[in-house]
Structure 1
Amino acid sequence: MHLTLLSVHGSNQTKHSLPLNMENQPSPLIDPKSGFCSETKTYHSLRPHLHLPPLTSPLSTTEYAFSFLHHSPPPPQTTALLDVVTGHRISFPELIHFTEVLASSLHSRFRLRKGDAAFIISPNSIHIPILYLSLFSLGVVISPSNPVASEPEILHQTNLSKPVIAFVTSQTAHKIPDTVKKTILLDSPEFESLITSQTRGRVDGLERVRVYQSDPAAILYSSGTTGRVKGVLLTHRNFISMLASSMATRGVKKNKITSVTLCTVPYFHVYGFVYCLRVAAMGNTLASMGRFGLKTMLGAIQEYRVSDVALAPPVVVAMVRDVGVMDGYDLSSLETVACGGAPLSKRVLELFKERFPNVPLAQGYGLTETTARIFSTVGPKESEVTGATGKLVSNYQAKIVDPETGESLPPSRPGELWVRGDTIMKGNRSSSRGIRFSAH
C-alpha cells in the first residue's frame, strides 16, 4: 500500500509515496536506539504504538477529548479553565455543560451546520477552548487568526476559509470584511448568554451531529515564508491522533493533585491550539492570560502554583538573560517548561539549566501542516540532550532525503525531511479556488 507523504523543506509541501507496513511490526533491522531501519533507510517512532479508533467510526475531536474526562473524571470542583488576570474559574462539569449549551445556541439561533466555517480573531481567553470544543461538536470548521493581523491579511484569510460567521472582540471587529454576514462579540453579554442560556428547551434535545474523523475540523494559517499565507486544512482524525499521542506519553506528576498549566502561546497558532485541547483532555487546569506580559506570567506562576508552562523562544531568552527579571517571584512550583516554534541557542539552553536546574525544558519540532509536533522530548532525561528536539511521535515514520538525487540518507547526513503519520494535513488552500490535497 502507498500513502501520500509530506515532504518538508522550509515551508514547501510536495507529494511523495513510500510503501507502508500497516501492521507496524517491529523489525530486527530497526535500531532500537534510533529507530532507523538499515534496509529501507526509514526512521520509525520508538514511542508506544497507538491503537486509534477505526477511521470509519463517527467521532469528533470534542467527543474524543471528553471521553478521557468521562473515563477518568477529575473531582467535580476541579478547575478546568482559569483566567489568571481576573481569577475567573470554570470547573470541568461546567466546561462540558457550557460546551453543549453553546453548541445548542449556535445551532438554533445562528443555524450553524456541519461544514460551515467560523472565523475567530481574538487574543487568548477563558472562552476560546469552550468555543473550539462547541464548534468541533457541530462539525463546523474552525479558522482562528492573529488579532494583530492587518485588514488585508484578514481579507486574504477569509477568502481562503469562506466563513459564514465570525467570532471577534470589540478591538478586532472592524477587521472583518463585509462578506462575512454574521458577527458575534466574544466580550459581550450576548456571547455570555449563548454559553449560559438554554435555547429551545433542554440541551439534550439537540440532535447529535454525525461528525466523521475524515471531516474537516480546522483551517489554520501557515507562515507564508514561500509566498502568501496558506490555509492548512486539518481533520478530526488529525486532532484525535495528536491527542492520543499526548495521552500515551504523559508523565506521572510529582503530586497527585490536578496540575495547573499556563499556556502563554496564542490559541490561534497550532502550538497553542493543540496545547489547550490536550491540557483539557488530560483533566488538568488550563490557565490563560490574554495579552502576554512577562511580569504577569511570573506573578501567575507564583500565585496559582503553576506546574507547567508553554512558552515561545523569546520568552525563554528573556527569562535567562535578564538576571533580575525573576527576582522576588517564587517559581518553585514549576515542573516543566515547554518551548517550540523556533530553535534555542546552546548558550540559552545552558543559562536555562543554570537558572532552573530541576526543571526540564521540553522542546519539539512540528508544523501547522502536521498538527503541531512530530518530534518531542518527553521527561527529564530526553530534555537533557542539548539542541535536541526529541524523538518521533507515535505512529510516525521519517526519512532524510538528498533533495537533488532523491536518495534516502543514513544517520548523520543532512538532507530534506520527509515525514508520514496520522496528523498530516488533509490539504491546503493557497487561493480562493479551493483545496490542494497533499495527504489522504
Structure 2
Amino acid sequence: MNVKLSNRENYDQDLPETLDIPNVTAGAILKGSVKQYGAKNAYIYRDTPITYNHIYTEAKRFANSLRELGIGRGMTVSTHLPTCPQYVAAYYGIILSGAAYSPLNPYLPVGDLTYQLNDSETKVVVTHESVASSIAEVLTDTGVQHVIMTGDSEIYTNETPVDVSMHEGWHSFAALKRSSSDEEFDPGIDPQEDLVHIAYTGGTTGSPKGVMITHANLVSNITQIAAWTAGALPVVDDDGALLFVAVEQDSEVYKEKYLIPLGEEIRLSPSPLFHITGGIGMIVSPMSLGVTTLLPDRFIPTQFLELIEKYKVSSINGAPAMWNVLLNLPGIDSYDFSTIRNISSGAAPLSQKELALLKEMFPNARVGEGYGLTEATASVAGSVCLTGGIHKIGTVGLPTCNTEIKIVSLDGLSEESLHYGESGEICIRGPQVMKGYFNKPEETAATLRDGWLHTGDIGIMDEDGYLAIVDRKKEMLIYNGYNVYPSRIEEVIVSHPAVQNAIVIGKPVESVGEIPKAFVIVKPGSTISVEELMTYTNERVVHYSKVRELEFLDQFPMTAAGKISKIHLKKMELENQ
C-alpha cells in the first residue's frame, strides 16, 4: 500500500521521489554541521552558549581517549547520564571512535541496569557524579572494563576534573579529554554493517531488547528528516563531510514554504537525551540542520515557558503528557508564543481536543504529529511540513521519503495489505529499519519478515496514504471476544470539559477476559462523579468498549522519558485485586 501518485502534491515537488542516501558514517554528520555552522551556538545550557566547534573538538578528544583505552569498532560504550552538555560530547565521541553507543536511563533500578550493561556487552560506561553510585553498586556483576565519570565542574571546561579518587580505577571525563589529541582518525567503519546505536526498547513485554542501528540506518533517517522537515538534500564534500542544503535557494520562497529556514531554528524539548526522541531530536537531527537547541535539566513548566520567551523559541517538540500539563497550567495565557512556528508531538497520539487547543495556543505555528519507533531509528511518518500541505486531523501524516507503510491483518496469517480504512498491524520498509535485535536472532526473525518491520502498532491508512494510529497491539484488550482499543475510549473521555487526562487499561476478569478500566485526572476547579463520567463515555462508544470501572487520580505515574506508565497502572491494579 504505497502513497498514491495523486497525493504527491503533499510532498515537496522540488525533491526527488526517492532520496539518494550517501554511504558515509554517522560521524560525517557532525563534521558537516561544523563546516556549515561551526561558530554558531549549537546548545544553550543554563544560559551559557556552546558552539558547534566546541562540541566537535570535545568529541574528537573523547574519541581519542577511547582509542587509547583500547575501545573502538565492534565494542559498546554506554552512557549513564542525565541531560547535560557532556552527554553530547560523549555521544559523538563514541560514534567517532567506531564503538556503538548504548544509552542507559540513569535512574534504572540496579537489576535493570545490570541486565542492560551485560546484554549490550558494554566495555565502557560514562556516568555522572549524581548517579554514579548505581554503577558502583553493580560494577562487579558486569563485564565493564572502564568507568568514566563527569560532573558539574566539567560542564564547560576540562581544567577542573571531577574527583574520582574514591573509586579505584575510574577516570574523569574531563581529565581524559584534556590529555588526548583532537586529531581525526579513521576507525574503519563499514556504514552498512557496523552498529552506531544499541538502543533498548521499553520492555513492555519480557526483557528489554537492544535495537541494532547501523551507521547507514542513522544517516538514512537523518537524511529523511532533513528532506521532510526542511526541504534539504545531502551533499558529501571532498573531505567526507555530510552537509544538508536546501533545494530552494530563494530565501523568501524557502521561508514561506517551510516557515523556519535552515540555520535559524531555536528548538526546545523536554525529552531526556537517553531516550530515542531526545537522542535524535536534540543531538543528531538539530545539529545536521544548524539548530540552536536549549537543554533544560528537566521539565519544569514555568521554567519551560520562560525559556520560550527569553530565547524567542521557534520550535517545540514534546509528548502528549507535556502538552496536557501546559494546556492546563494556570496563567498560560499570559505568555508570548508569537515566535513559535513549529509544534511537533510524538510518542503517543494526541486527542483531537488537545490538538485544537494547541492550535489555539500557538496561532503562528504549524501543529503536527509524527510517528516513529526505536526499531526504525526514529522517524517513519509525519504531518506535512509544507505550507499549504494537507494536515488531516487524527492522523500522524504521511510516510516520510523512502519509506513504505502497509497495514496487515492482526492475526498474522497474511502479509497482504488490507483495504484502505481497515485497521491492522503497521508494517514498515525503509533504509532506517533496524538491523535486528542484539544477540536475539529469534526475536529478530519474528519482527523482521521479508524486509518488513512488524511494529506491533495498530493503524489505519486512508486512500491518500495518511496514517492514523489506533493503538498498540500489546495494549489492545479483548472483552468477550471483541477487540477493544483503549486509545479510542480515552479520546471520548478527554472530550468531556471537566477532564484533563485519561488512561484506559485492560483489567483481567476471568469470565470475560478483560474489562476496560479508566483512570482519570479531573481539571482543577472542576467536579464530576464517577457515574456521570461513565454515563457520558458509554453513551459515545460501542457496547463492547464501555468503561466498566473508573477511578480518579491526582496524577499519573510517568516513565523517565516523559510518557505515562501504563505498566505501572496495570501493576497497581493487579496488586489491588
Q: TM-score range by the shorter chain?
A: 0.7 to 0.9
CA contact (8 A) 1:360 1:384 kept: no
1:284 corresponding residue in structure 2: 291
1:33 aligns with 2:40: no
2:150 corresponding residue in structure 1: 186
CA contact (8 A) 1:65 1:278 kept: no
SS in structure 1 opposite 2:57?
Answer: helix
Structure 1 residue runs without a partner (length 5+): 1-17, 19-26, 36-45
1:145 aligns with 2:104: yes
1:49 aligns with 2:25: no
CA RMSD of aligned residues (A): 2.6
Mapped partners of 1:419, 1:34: distance in 2: 20
CA contact (8 A) 1:78 1:258 kept: no
Mapped partners of 2:150, 2:334: distance in 1: 35
Shift in alpha-carbon separation, 1:383–1:141, aligned structure 2, 3 A? farther
CA contact (8 A) 1:107 1:113 kept: yes
Shift in alpha-carbon separation, 1:129–1:424, aligned structure 2, 3 A? same
CA contact (8 A) 2:125 2:146 kept: yes
Q: 1:113 deviation in Å?
A: 1.7
Shift in alpha-carbon separation, 1:381–1:174, aligned structure 2, 3 A? farther
Runs of 4+ in 1 over 4 A off after TM superposition: 252-257, 380-384, 433-440
1:221 aligns with 2:195: no
Q: 1:392-411 counterparts in 2 under 5 A?
A: 392-404=399-411, 405-406=413-414, 407-411=416-420
| 1:162-210: CA deviation from partner (whole Å, max 9, x where unpaired) | 1111111122212222222311112151323444x252xx533x54211
1:356 aligns with 2:321: no
Shift in alpha-carbon separation, 1:411–1:372, aligned structure 2, 3 A? same
- Letter matched to residue 49 of structure 1: T
CA contact (8 A) 2:338 2:362 kept: no
SS in structure 1 opposite 2:423?
Answer: coil
The percent of aligned pairs where both chains have the same amino acid is: 26
Shift in alpha-carbon separation, 1:87–1:193, aligned structure 2, 3 A? farther
Alignment counterpart, residue 228 of structure 2, candidates 236, 249, 252: 249
Shift in alpha-carbon separation, 1:314–1:30, aligned structure 2, 3 A? closer
| 1:327-359: CA deviation from partner (whole Å, max 9, x where unpaired) | 543332211122110111111111112222222
1:168 corresponding residue in structure 2: 127
Mapped partners of 1:117, 1:357: distance in 2: 45
2:526 corresponding residue in structure 1: none
1:390 aligns with 2:390: no
SS in structure 1 opposite 2:56?
Answer: helix
Q: 1:255 deviation in Å?
A: 6.5
Shift in alpha-carbon separation, 1:384–1:409, aligned structure 2, 3 A? closer
2:76 corresponding residue in structure 1: 117
Task: Return the TM-score normalized by structure 2.
Answer: 0.63
SS in structure 2 opposite 1:303?
Answer: helix
Q: 1:194-213 counterparts in 2 under 5 A?
A: 194-195=176-177, 197-199=178-180, 202-204=181-183, 207-213=185-191
| 1:24-47: CA deviation from partner (whole Å, max 9, x where unpaired) | xxx9x9442289xxxxxxxxxx98
1:337 corresponding residue in structure 2: 343
Shift in alpha-carbon separation, 1:255–1:336, aligned structure 2, 3 A? closer
| 1:227-263: CA deviation from partner (whole Å, max 9, x where unpaired) | 2211111111110001111221233455666321123
Q: 1:317-336 counterparts in 2 under 5 A?
A: 317-322=324-329, 324-336=330-342
1:6 corresponding residue in structure 2: none
Q: Which is greater in Rg?
A: 2
Shift in alpha-carbon separation, 1:383–1:225, aligned structure 2, 3 A? farther
Mapped partners of 1:331, 1:265: distance in 2: 20
SS in structure 1 opposite 2:174?
Answer: helix
Mapped partners of 2:39, 2:98: distance in 1: 30
Alignment counterpart, residue 48 of structure 2, candidates 60, 84, 88: 88
- Letter matched to residue 398 of structure 2: K
Mapped partners of 1:192, 1:304: distance in 2: 29
Mapped partners of 2:288, 2:266: distance in 1: 13
CA contact (8 A) 1:400 1:408 kept: yes
User: Which gives a bigger RCO, structure 1 or 2 (Cα 8 Å, sep 6+)?
Assistant: 1
Q: 1:381 deviation in Å?
A: 4.4
Structure 2 residue runs without a partner (length 5+): 10-14, 155-160, 162-171, 231-253, 452-577
Q: 1:226 deviation in Å?
A: 2.3
CA contact (8 A) 2:337 2:362 kept: no
Shift in alpha-carbon separation, 1:220–1:271, aligned structure 2, 3 A? same
1:231 corresponding residue in structure 2: 210
2:64 corresponding residue in structure 1: 104
Task: Return the TM-score normalized by structure 1.
Answer: 0.81
Shift in alpha-carbon separation, 1:424–1:325, aligned structure 2, 3 A? farther
- Letter matched to residue 211 of structure 1: I
- Letter matched to residue 287 of structure 1: L
Q: 1:429 deviation in Å?
A: 3.4
- Letter matched to residue 191 of structure 1: F
Give the length in aligned residue pairs: 388
Q: Which moved more, 1:158-167 or 1:244-253?
A: 244-253
- Letter matched to residue 86 of structure 2: H
